Amino acid sequence: MCLGIPGEIIEISQDRPDLAKVAVSGVKRVINIGLLDDDPPVPGDWILIHVGFALSKIDEVEAKAAMDFLESIGKAYEDELAALTESRID
């Protein structure tokens, strides 16, 4: 099962505007936000992430609902969070 995990944009890279530092469940990772060129996120925005890529912008209410759901399903959420933790974008 492929899941998207919500994360909050902390900062956008000055050198690479397609990369952003994002906070996800206490983990801070660099995420590729290049797929969101038509509506680029800014710090404070919430995004839906899958394996290191931002798929869409969401609001904070959607992010909270998604996290509540993901935490309730257990193993699939843990697997997706592990995939995010292992992904690297340089």
Top pLDDT among 40 and 72 is at 40
Please indicate whether residue 60 or residue 67 has the higher confidence score (pLDDT).
60
Q: Are 42 and 9 in contact (CB under 8 A)?
A: yes
Give CA–CA dist 67/26, Å, rounded: 12
The string of pLDDT tens digits covering residues 7-49 is 999 999 999 999 999 998 888 999 999 999 999 999 999 999 9
Residue 50 is which amino acid? H
**What six digits make up the tokens of 5?**
């995990």
